[in-house]
Amino acid sequence: MEDIKHKYMITEQLAKELKEHYNPEGSSIRLLQLNLLDILKAFDQFARKHDITYSIFWGTLLGAVRHHGFIPWDDDADIIMTRS
């Protein structure tokens, strides 16, 4: 399992280069991502208050693990939860 994990991870240098290329600080996509982060934080507070179980998903989860934040070119946030 550890070999598979390393196969799909990117280096810190590559992550930095991707971020600098696709969404440098102050770019419109970076500002959008910061707004999305505020929305996710507010949703998390609401979910905790109301005992709602959820998880980040798709690109949001991939970005959190692989890029330690958003995927540099991603412009949305993905969450999932049970219907109940």
pLDDT tens for each residue of 16-41: 787 777 777 788 888 999 999 999 99
pTM over 0.85: no
Average pLDDT over the chain, rounded to whole? 83
Read off the amino acid at residue 82: T
Q: Nearest 5°: phi and psi at 36?
A: -60, -40
Token pair of 75 as six digits: 């412009």
